[in-house]
A = this chain, B = another copy of it.
Amino acid sequence: MKKIEVGVLGATGMVGQRFVSLLRNHPWFDLAWLAASDRSAGKSYGEACSWRLREPMPESVRTMRVGECKPGGAPQLLFASLDSKVAGEVEKEFARAGHVVVSNSSNHRMDEDVPLLIPEVNPDHLALVRVQRQQRRWSGMIVTNPNCTAVGLVMSLAPLHAAFGIEKVMMTSMQAISGAGYPGVPTLDILGNVIPYIAGEEEKVERETQKLLGKLTDVQVQPSKIVVSAHCNRVLVEDGHTESISVSLNGKASLQDLIGVWRKYRSRPQELHLPSAPAHPIVVRDENDRPQVRLDVESERGMAIVIGRIRHCAVLQFKYTALSHNTIRGAAGAALLNAELMKAEGYLE
């Protein structure tokens, strides 16, 4: 099979760096094009990018030229992690010009005709792009993945929702600094501190959860009626969002039922053997003090949700802790898996 050429919009940012790193030696995709803001355009990637990942920058990209965020010369398939100040317009411009934009930005996630996708959770929502292309008369399309905090929550809820039905969810997050990009959070703000506010985050988690767990009809997604309340906090962690979650179900279930449902959970990406799909989308830990960022965040190469401390909740029904890697499963890896699903389902032809 000949590899598909891909590009990255916003290649020098934190999520852009993850795209570059995850695309190294990808079996289906070949990174052939990089674009970033005007500040970087025209430089080599090595010059333009303040590389922050612990694994070294792949040698092959070091000398690649960073282009402008303009269609023309770009491959058809593009991963996008632009600043939300510009992402809205730039993504539309590329889609209009015939590109498939697989975006990590929040701008179009809640658009009625844009799929907001977790391949394990709602692969059928991808069909929305047909409505999108028809309505907007685009030859290209935009597909999005959720907010990094929503991903862990929704992946933990989806199998419960399928098995028992969910009624209410309360989630308190302790989020990593890498989610704020680079330079991002000043050390003077977070050293020895907890910041109990991340702009727009709680609203995103609440709305995106309902769209992700919603039902696709012919032309739109009917958002789920699950009641969701989020508290979002920033803590001094590099990568990995920890979430304390309480949930009440419509039906009856035991702790063992929940654990069983989570452990057995396999979905479309696993059936299709997508290259970035985790063998176990949900890893359940038995120890009473897990998941922990430093021990569990790399589970399944950062693509699993790790769940532990499953117990009864006096206010809702059950409570547990979920951990996800915010720049892999919650961002670049999420978009990559979306693109793999699109390829496998014939959306890239």
Contact = CB atoms under 8 A, between A and B. Distances in A.
A182 interface: yes
B188 A238 contact: yes
Nearest to A194: B242
A185 interface: yes
Contacts of A235: 174, 194, 235-236
A191 B236 contact: yes
Contacts of A12: none
B187 A289 contact: no
A309 B237 CA distance: 22
A65 B275 CA distance: 37
A196 B308 contact: yes
A291 interface: yes
A186 B183 contact: yes
A244 to B, nearest CB: 4
A233 interface: yes
A184 to B, nearest CB: 6
Contact of A288 (B14, B197, B244, B316): B197
B228 A314 contact: yes
Interface in A79-120: none
Interface in A216-239: 227-229, 231, 233, 235-238
Given A196-B291, A292-B196, A315 B168 contact: yes
Contact of A238 (B192, B293, B315): B192
A229 B313 CA distance: 6
Contacts of A228: 314-315
Contact of A229 (B14, B240, B288, B314): B314
A202 to B, nearest CB: 9
A139 interface: no
B183 A298 contact: no
B184 A188 contact: yes
Contacts of A170: 170, 246, 313, 315-316
B233 A244 contact: yes
A179 to B, nearest CB: 11
A189 B174 CA distance: 17
A55 B295 CA distance: 7
B187 A293 contact: no
Contacts of A246: 170, 229, 231
Interface string A283-294: 000001111111
Residue from A170, A187, A289, A298 whose CB has the most chain B CB atoms within 10 Å: A187
A169 interface: yes
7 contacts: A187-B190, A191-B236, A192-B237, A192-B294, A196-B244, A197-B289, A229-B246
Given A52-B188, A183-B188, 9 more contacts: A51-B295, A56-B295, A170-B246, A177-B191, A185-B186, A185-B187, A187-B191, A196-B291, A229-B316
